[in-house]
Chains A and B, each alone.
Chain A
Amino acid sequence: DAGVIQSPRHEVTEMGQEVTLRCKPISGHNSLFWYRQTMMRGLELLIYFNNNVPIDDSGMPEDRFSAKMPNASFSTLKIQPSEPRDSAVYFCASSLRQEQYFGPGTRLTVT
Chain B
Amino acid sequence: DQQVKQNSPSLSVQEGRISILNCDYTNSMFDYFLWYKKYPAEGPTFLISISSIKDKNEDGRFTVFLNKSAKHLSLHIVPSQPGDSAVYFCAAPPGGTSYGKLTFGQGTILTVHP
Interface residue ranges, A against B (CB under 8 Å): 4, 31, 33, 42-43, 45, 48, 50, 55-56, 91, 93, 95, 97-105, 107
At the interface, is chain A mostly helix, strand, loop or mixed?
A: strand
Is B101 a contact partner of A33 (Cβ separation < 8 A)? yes
A-B contact pairs, 29 of them (CB 8 A): A33-B102, A42-B104, A42-B107, A43-B44, A43-B89, A43-B104, A43-B107, A45-B101, A48-B100, A48-B101, A50-B100, A55-B100, A56-B100, A91-B44, A93-B43, A95-B99, A98-B34, A98-B49, A98-B99, A99-B49, A100-B46, A100-B102, A101-B46, A102-B36, A102-B43, A103-B43, A104-B41, A104-B43, A105-B43
Task: Give Cα A95–Cα B44 distance, bound, in whole angstroms.
Answer: 13
Tell me how many residues of B have a C-beta within 8 Å of chain A: 19
Quick one: CB contact mask for B16-52 with A, threshold 8 Å, 1 for yes? 0000000000000000101010000111111001000
Beyond A98-B102, A102-B44, list 18 extra A-B contacts (CB 8 Å).
A31-B100, A33-B102, A42-B104, A43-B44, A43-B89, A43-B104, A43-B107, A45-B102, A48-B101, A56-B100, A95-B99, A98-B32, A99-B34, A99-B46, A99-B49, A101-B46, A102-B45, A105-B42
Nearest-Cβ distance from residue B85 to partner chain A, whole angstroms = 19
Is A97 a contact partner of B99 (Cβ separation < 8 A)? yes
Does B63 interact with chain A (Cβ within 8 Å)? no
Which 5 A-B pairs rank lowest in CB-CB distance, beginning with the nearest?
A102-B43, A98-B93, A102-B44, A99-B46, A45-B101
Task: Give Cα A55–Cα B104 distance, bound, in whole angstroms.
Answer: 19
When distances are taken between beta carbons in the complex, the residues of chain A under 8 Å from B43 are 4, 91, 93, 102-105
Quick one: CB contact mask for B79-114 with A, threshold 8 Å, 1 for yes? 000000000010001000001111010110000000
Task: Give Cα A93–Cα B42 distance, bound, in whole angstroms.
Answer: 12
Q: Look across to chain A and name the residue whose beta carbon is closest to the beta carbon of B103.
A: A45
Nearest-Cβ distance from residue A34 to partner chain B, whole angstroms = 11
Nearest-Cβ distance from residue B24 to partner chain A, whole angstroms = 16
Nearest-Cβ distance from residue A98 to partner chain B, whole angstroms = 5
